[in-house]
Structure 1
C-alpha cells in the first residue's frame, strides 16, 4: 500500500495528540488514587492540634484536626448556593480566634435559605467563650461556580466564594491558609452532613479510554483510506 504524505502525517499527528492526552488522564487518575489513599489513611489517624504556627494547606489537607478558641461572629461569611438534599441554603463560615492568638476559618455547617427573602438568614446560635472545634482540614471553604467578583468580605456577608488569603488581607486577621470543616456538634442547629470527599477517578479512566479509542479510530481510518486508495490505483 502507498501512503500519501500529508494525510498520513495528519493521522499520525491526531494519534500522537490523543495518545498523549490518554496518558495525561492516566497520570491524573494515579494522582487522584494517591489522594484517596491519603484520605483513607488520615481517617484513622489521631487529630492534629492547630495553633497559630503556620501550616501549609497542602501539608494538612484531609487530616483530622482540633482547634481551641472562640468564634468571631462579627466576621461571619455566608456562602450562597450551597444546596443540601435539594434545598437551597448557605454554608456558615466564621473565624475562630485561637487561644494562642492565631486565627483559622471554620466552615461551621449548612443553614437553609429563606424561600421568600433570599438574603434573610435563618436563626442559629454561636457558642460563647472558648471551646474545642474538631473537623477535617480543607484547602478552601467550598467552591461554587461564580460569575464576576464575589464582593468584599468587609462589606458583604453573603457571597458566592471565599478566598482565604484575600479574606485575611481584607480583615487583617492572621489566618491559617486552610479551613476546618467542622464535624463536632456544638448545639448550634447547623447541619454538618458533609459529602464524602470524592476525586472522580472513574472519569479520568473513562476519558483515557475515549482518547485512546480516538487514536485507534484514527489509525483504522488511515489504514482503510490507504487500502481504498491502493485499490483505485490498480
Structure 2
C-alpha cells in the first residue's frame, strides 16, 4: 500500500474532494427527480381513479366560496383534484368565457367556460368542451353552441386553477383569456366563484355534440424515472473514474520505482 501514499498529497486530496462533491450533487439531483416521479405518479393515479369513481357532490371536493361577488373561493385540497363531482344549477349564458389557443387533436381552437350558478347564488366554472375557431384564423371567435336553459345537472372532474400570467379581456361582448385562472376570471363575474373549475363529462340535458371533450393528459412520470437512473449512474461513474485513475497512477509509479542492486559475489582475482 506504500505506493498509494500519493493519494495523501494536496493535489490528490483536492481531486478526491471534487469527486465527492460532484457525486453528492448528482445523487441529490437523482433524489429530486425521484420526488418528481412520485408526485407525477400520484397525479396519474388520481386521474385514473377519477375516471372510475362514482361522482360525489361538488362541496365534498371543492370548498364553498365565502367572499362576496367577484371573489374566488379557496382551492381544493391536492388529493381532491381530478375528483369526479356532480352539481346542479343554471348556466349564465351572459358571461361565457372563451379560452383561446387551446389544442385538441393537433388543432388550435377555443375551450368554452360557462358559469353554472347554484341555488345559493355561488357559481362554478364549467369547461363545456373545445370548438374550432371561426373561418379567418386561430383567434377568430367561434359560434358557441347555446347552453341549455333551465336547470342543468353536470358531472365533471375537478381541475385546479391554472397558474402563470393570466390576462382577461372582453372582445365582441365576451370574456376571453389564454389561461384559466379562476381568481382572475372571478373578478369579472357578478357572484362568488368556487376556487376550481370542472371539466365536463356528462350533462343533463345532454351537451351539444359540436363540443369535443377536453382530454386529460397523464404526466410523463417515466421521463423523471429515467433522469433518476441517469443521475445515479453518473454519480457511480464519477466515483469509479476516480478509483480507476488512482489505480492507473499507482501502477505508473510502481513501474517507475528503481529496483535495488543485485547482490552478487565478486569474481576472484587470480594471484
Aligned to 2:118: 98
Aligned to 1:53: 64
Question: Is 1:226 paired with 2:226?
Answer: no
Shift in CA distance, 120/224, structure 1 to aligned 2, threshold 3 Å: same
Aligned to 1:151: 167
Aligned to 1:18: 26
1:232 Cα deviation from its structure 2 partner? 4.2
3-state SS of paired residue (1:80): strand
Matched-pair contact (CA < 8 Å) for 1:154–1:170: no
1:17 Cα deviation from its structure 2 partner? 0.8
Shift in CA distance, 111/35, structure 1 to aligned 2, threshold 3 Å: same
Looking at CA atoms only, which structure, 1 or 2, has the larger radius of gyration? 2
Aligned to 2:192: 174
1:92 Cα deviation from its structure 2 partner? 0.7
Aligned to 2:269: none
One of 36, 43, 47 as aligned partner of 1:39: 47
Cα separation, 2, equivalents of 1:27 and 1:78: 36
3-state SS of paired residue (1:65): strand
Shift in CA distance, 116/178, structure 1 to aligned 2, threshold 3 Å: same
One of 135, 139, 160 as aligned partner of 1:139: 160
Give CA-to-partner distance per residue, 1:97-152, whole Å, 9 cap, x none: 11221111111100101342432313422211221111111113x67xx8xx5423
Structure 2 unmatched ranges of 5 or more? 66-73, 255-271
1:88 Cα deviation from its structure 2 partner? 1.4
Name the Cα RMSD after superposition: 2.5
Deviation larger for 213-222 or 55-64: 55-64
Question: Is 1:193 paired with 2:209?
Answer: no
TM-score normalised by length of structure 1: 0.85
Give CA-to-partner distance per residue, 1:210-233, whole Å, 9 cap, x none: 111211221122223323333444
Aligned to 1:163: 181
Structure 1 unmatched ranges of 5 or more? none
